[in-house]
């Protein structure tokens, strides 16, 4: 009987060690989300130094002049932008019972901000264009495309409050134009973090600051909780085995 107890004890020990090794892995616990954050947290250096272009060394009186300089080199790119829902604020969708309809921020109501009609000067601050303040806005004019909203890497570009998408008067357009590059999290977050009027207000899962350490600590805590639950289960099995074996030892 003692051999049986020893065998059970060794079995429980081997099982617990196996579970521990399986759950703890090697290194810091990660999730797909933390993996992406670690991959994209590093700021990329643009492959082209825009400060050396003569076209960008002048004073820009209007943001449209910056767009003109951009598409002079990046030809046809504006056509791609002007086909996107970020530019048109609408897209075609199938609505059951009504067929294909063109829907978007232009013409629908939502359950948070209601709609843009009547408040274009403020709402259209998040449009990737310049000057959409009323129905007269020209969606076919490429010079109205705001290249800087998505490509600013200087972290100094901001839109004017109530300016219908125009840059704030404090923005140095020359400096921003010379420091453009691949769109970064901050570019997208300028609008998507602050949807609904404040940081993390509308979406609930998008905010200005996201701590990598916090994400990793949450993963560690979840992993520890799993380990503790397994240990509790093992302890319960051990107690039951011991309670059944003790009478035979007496």
- The confidence band for 249, taking pLDDT boundaries of 50, 70 and 90, is very low
Same domain (yes/no): 174, 234: no
Same domain (yes/no): 56, 168: yes
Same domain (yes/no): 172, 106: yes
Final residue belonging to a domain, choices 135, 161, 179: 179
Same domain (yes/no): 146, 116: yes
* Residue 13 reports pLDDT greater than 60: no
Final residue belonging to a domain, choices 134, 156, 179: 179
Same domain (yes/no): 68, 150: yes
Is residue 128 included in any domain, yes or no? yes
Cα atoms found within 13 Å of the Cα of residue 107, Cβ hemisphere only: 8
Instruction: Give the integer Cα–Cα distance in Å for 52 and 54.
Output: 6
Same domain (yes/no): 23, 118: no
pLDDT tens across 167-189, in order?
A: 999 999 999 999 999 898 889 98
What is the domain range of residue 111? 49-179
Kindly give, in sequence order, each residue whose CB lies less than 8 Å from that of residue 42, ignoring residues fewer than 6 positions away. none
Of 215 and 224, more confident: 224
Asked if 58 and 174 count as a contact pair (C-beta separation under 8 A), the reply is yes
Is residue 196 included in any domain, yes or no? no
Is residue 191 included in any domain, yes or no? no
Can you give the pLDDT at residue 84?
92
How many domains does the chain contain in total?
Answer: 2
Tokens of residue 33, six digits: 């989300």
Is residue 187 included in any domain, yes or no? no
Is residue 193 included in any domain, yes or no? no
Is residue 184 included in any domain, yes or no? no
- Terminal-residue alpha carbon distance, the chain: 11
pLDDT tens across 35-79, in order?
A: 877 777 776 677 789 999 999 999 999 999 999 999 999 999 999
Closest CA to 207 of 199, 198, 217, 218: 199
Q: Where are the beta strands (DSSP E) in the chain?
A: 91-95, 99-103
Same domain (yes/no): 54, 170: yes
Asked if 31 and 222 count as a contact pair (C-beta separation under 8 A), the reply is no
């Amino acid at each position: 009987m003692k051999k049986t107890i020893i065998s059970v004890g060794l079995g429980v020990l081997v099982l617990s060690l196996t579970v521990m090794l399986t759950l703890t892995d090697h290194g810091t616990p990660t999730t797909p989300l933390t993996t992406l954050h670690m991959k994209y947290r590093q700021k990329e250096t643009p492959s082209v130094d825009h400060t050396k272009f003569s076209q960008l060394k002048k004073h820009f009186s209007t943001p449209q002049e910056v767009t003109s300089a951009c598409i002079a080199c990046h030809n046809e790119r504006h056509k791609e932008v002007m086909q996107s829902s970020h530019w048109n604020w609408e897209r075609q969708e199938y609505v059951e019972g009504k067929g294909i309809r063109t829907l978007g921020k232009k013409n629908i109501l939502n359950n948070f901000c209601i709609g843009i009609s009547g408040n274009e000067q403020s709402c259209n601050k998040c449009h990737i264009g310049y000057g959409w303040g009323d129905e007269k806005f020209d969606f076919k004019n490429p010079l109205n495309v705001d290249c800087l909203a998505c490509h600013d890497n200087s972290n100094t570009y901001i839109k004017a409050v109530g300016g219908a998408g125009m840059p704030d008067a404090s923005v140095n357009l020359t400096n921003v134009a010379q420091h453009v590059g691949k769109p970064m999290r901050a570019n997208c977050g300028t609008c998507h973090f602050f949807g609904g009027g404040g940081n993390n207000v509308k979406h609930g899962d998008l905010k200005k600051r996201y701590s990598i350490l916090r994400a990793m600590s949450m993963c560690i805590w979840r992993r520890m909780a799993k380990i503790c639950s397994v240990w509790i289960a093992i302890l319960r099995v051990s107690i039951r085995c011991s309670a059944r074996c003790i009478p035979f030892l007496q």
